Amino acid sequence: MIDHESLRIGVYVCHCGSNIAGALDVEELTRFAEGLPGVALSRHYKYMCSDPGQELVKRDIVEHRLNRIVVAACSPNLHEPTFRRAAEDAGLNRFLVQMCNIREQVAWVTEDKADALTKAEAHLAGAVRRVAGHEPLQRQFVRIVPRALVVGGGIAGIQAALTLADAGHKVVLVEREPSIGGHMAMFDKTFPTLDCAACILTPKMTSVKLHPNIKLLTYSTVESVEGSVGNYRVKIRRKPRYIDEDLCVGCMQCIDGCVFTQAKFSNAFDQGLGLRKPVYLPFPQAVPPVPVVDPEVCLQIARGKCKQSCVEACGERNAFKFDQQEEIEEYNVGAIIVATGFKAFDPSVIEYYGYGKYPNVYTSLEVERLLNAGGPTGGKLVLRDGSTPKRVGIVHCVGSRDANYHPYCSRVCCMYALKLAHLVREKTGAEVTNCYIDIRTPGKGFEEFYNRVQNEGVQFIRGKVADITPAAGNGDSPHLPERPSGCLAQMGTVPFSGGLVMQVDDTLLGSIRKVEVDMVILAVALEAQADAGDVRRTFGISCSTEGFFLEKHPKLAPVNTANDGVMVAGACQGAKDIPDTVAQADAAAAKAMVLIDSGQIELEPNTAWVDEEMCSGCKTCISLCPYQAITPDEERKIAVIDQALCKGCGTCVAACPSGAAKQHLFGDEQVNEELEGLMNYV
C-alpha cells in the first residue's frame, strides 16, 4: 500500500537543450507537477543529465528529504542508469527513480506546442503516481560464463575469434561450410590495394586452426540457444563429413584415390563453374584441411556399393568413417557474436539481364572465381567456349538501389566493379565498359583507385543498363536449354558464344546506346542470408526491413543487439567491405570482452516473484514461461522462479489464476496508478 502521507517526490523536467524546451512549455510543465499529489518539489533544468543536473537531484534528496524521483526527459534506455546512480549516491534506493519520456514520446512526435504540453502532463502525472508505489529493491548479479561463441567463419568471425582468443578468452567458432574463409576466400584480389585475398586471409585461417583458445567446429550449425546474457546453453549440430577430423592428416590421397577418376560434380565454392569429386576439399587452402564426402553422390554412402579405393588410399590412418552420424554438442557460453555474412543476389530474377539464359552473362562472384588462380580455370578469364573476351561490360547496381529488389546501396559493388574492371584489363587487355548510376567511392584510397582505373582506359557510361540481348547474327540459338553445371565441362559445347548487346541510356550524352560486348559481368547486390530469419529467432535478435540483423543503436551501439549478450559483426548486419567488417568484428570482440571480463552481470530488477502464501502450486505458469525460469517445488507445492533466468516478460503474472505471481516494478498498484494518472489528463 502506498503511504501517501510520507511521500516526498521530486520532479525534474529536462529541457534537453531545445529538444524538449523547443517543443513544449517546460516551465508550465514544472508548475503542473507541483500540483500533483505527493510532489514535494519540482524543477526544470537545461540538461538534467549533466553533472550540475545530477548534483541538483543529489542535493535535493538530502536537503529536502526526497524519497522518490521522477525525471521527465529522454528515453529510459539512455539515462535511467544515470539517475538511478545519482539517487544511490545520495542515499536513496536506486529503484525509487522513474523516468518519464517526454522527448521521444512527446517532443519529437508532436507538432503543436499546446498539444505537446497536455501530452507531457499526462505522461508526468502517470509517472508521479507510479513512482509512489515503487519499493526499494536489491540489485542482483549473476556470474558470466567466460567463453564466447562466434557464429560464422568468414573474415568477420575469424577476426572476432582471433581477437578474443589472443586476449586469452576461450572461443567456440562455428562454421556451416566444410571450411572457414567465407566469401573472402573466393575473391582474387581485394580493393583498393589489390592485395591477394588468399595471401592476407589464409594466415588468419591457419591461426584459427592452431590457436589453443579456439575450438573450431566446421560443417556445423547452431541448433538452439537457451538462457540469457552471461549464461547461454548452446546446442550445435555437427554434420557428418564421413572423415574423422582427428585422424585425417590432410594428405588428400583419398581424393586422388576416389573411384571417380574425373571430377564431375558441381563445386559450390566455385559458384558451380568448377567440378569436384564425391570426396573433395572445397579449395586448396581450406581450413581444416580435411576433405568432406558428399553423401548424395558418394557410391559407398548413396548405394552402399563401392570398392572404396579412397579408404585404401587413406591406408593405416583409417580416417574414413562411413557410418558417421549427425551429432549434437552442447556448450555454455557467456557472450555470442553473430557473423553469418551475406548472400550474393541471384540476378536470374531480373529477366532483362538474361542471366541463366545467355551463357556469357556472369555474376561478379563467378568472375572472382574465374580470375582466381585457385579457381576452375586456374585464373584465366575465359568465355564458355574457352576463348578470351575482347569486350567486357560491367553492369552496376544489379539488385541494389532498386525498389523492385533491394532499395539500399550495397556499398561495395562500385569498388569491386572497378577492381574487376582493372583485373579484366590486366589479364586480357579487353575493352571494359562500366555502366553505372553513380560511382560511390567513399573510403580510404577508393577515389584514387577509381581515378587509376579511369586512366587505365576503362570506359564509363552513366546509365542503368536496360536490356542485354544477343548481338545480331551470332549463331543459331541464343538460348541455353538450362544452366550448365560446370563451365569446364561445357566449354566448346555451348552453342551460343557470340556477342551480347547492352542497351543503356547514356544519361550524360543524352542518347540511348547499344554497346556490343563478349561478356557481361553483373555487379550483384549483397543481401541478407536466406535463413537470416531463422538465425534471428535462434539468437533472439531483430532484423531490419531489408533482412540484415539490427544493431541496438545505429550510431552509438553498432555491434550490440537488443539481446544484451549477442553482438553482430560483418555483412550480416548490413552490406560492408572487408576493412569495415574487420573493424566491426574487433568491436564485437571488444564488447564480448567487456561482458565476459566484468565477471558478473546485473540482472534487470523487473523480474517476477511468487507470493508463496498465495501460490496453490497449479503449475500453470511453468509451461508458459518462455525462458524455463520457473520450476515446481513439489514439497512445498509452490512455483519457484529463478531470478537469473527470468527476463521479466510478465507472462506468468498475467496467467496466474490466484494472483500469486508478481513482478517487481510492475505490480498491479504501480501499473494501475500509472494508467490512472495518464488517463486523467487525456
Residue 396 or residue 419: which is nearer to other proteins going by CB?
Answer: 396
* Least Cβ distance, residue 469 to other proteins (angstroms): 7
Gap between the Cα atoms of 400 and 598, Å rounded: 42
Residue 325 or residue 511: which is nearer to other proteins going by CB?
Answer: 511
* Least Cβ distance, residue 479 to other proteins (angstroms): 8
- The Cα-based distances of 640 to 422, 629, 650 in angstroms read 66, 8, 15
Residue 397 or residue 608: which is nearer to other proteins going by CB?
Answer: 397
* Least Cβ distance, residue 505 to other proteins (angstroms): 3
User: By C-alpha distance, which of 355, 385, 381 is closest to 368?
Assistant: 381
Residue 75 or residue 477: which is nearer to other proteins going by CB?
Answer: 477
User: By C-alpha distance, which of 624, 674, 612, 673 is closest to 653?
Assistant: 624
Residue 378: CB atoms within 10 Å: 9
* Least Cβ distance, residue 352 to other proteins (angstroms): 5
* Least Cβ distance, residue 411 to other proteins (angstroms): 16
* Least Cβ distance, residue 543 to other proteins (angstroms): 22
* Least Cβ distance, residue 490 to other proteins (angstroms): 21
Q: At what angle do helices 413-428 and 446-455 cross, to 10 degrees?
A: 30
DSSP, res 96: G
* Least Cβ distance, residue 435 to other proteins (angstroms): 10
Q: Is residue 241 within 8 Å of 260, Cβ to Cβ?
A: no
DSSP of 408-438: S--SSHHHHHHHHHHHHHHHH--EEEEEES-
Residue 91 or residue 510: which is nearer to other proteins going by CB?
Answer: 510
* Least Cβ distance, residue 420 to other proteins (angstroms): 21
Cell 548424395, residue located: 296
Gap between the Cα atoms of 174 and 149, Å rounded: 8
How many whole angstroms from its chain centre is CA 138?
A: 35
Residue 12 or residue 408: which is nearer to other proteins going by CB?
Answer: 408
Contact footprint for other proteins (CB under 8 A): 351-352, 397, 401-404, 437-438, 462-467, 469-470, 478-479, 503-507, 510-512
Residue 501 or residue 621: which is nearer to other proteins going by CB?
Answer: 501
Residues, the chain, total? 682
* Least Cβ distance, residue 495 to other proteins (angstroms): 14
What is the separation, in whole angstroms, between the first and last Cα of the chain? 26
Residue 507 or residue 658: which is nearer to other proteins going by CB?
Answer: 507
List, in sequence order, the alpha helices (H) in 492-577.
Answer: 532-539
DSSP, res 549: B
Strand partners, 16: none
Residue 256 or residue 546: which is nearer to other proteins going by CB?
Answer: 546
Q: Is residue 552 within 8 Å of 533, Cβ to Cβ?
A: no
Q: Could you give phi then psi for residue 352, rounded to 5 degrees?
A: -70, -5
Residue 467 or residue 516: which is nearer to other proteins going by CB?
Answer: 467
Gap between the Cα atoms of 278 and 259, Å rounded: 9
Conformational region of residue 475, where left means phi above 0, alpha means psi within -120 to 50, and beta covers everything else: left
How many whole angstroms from its chain centre is CA 21?
A: 37
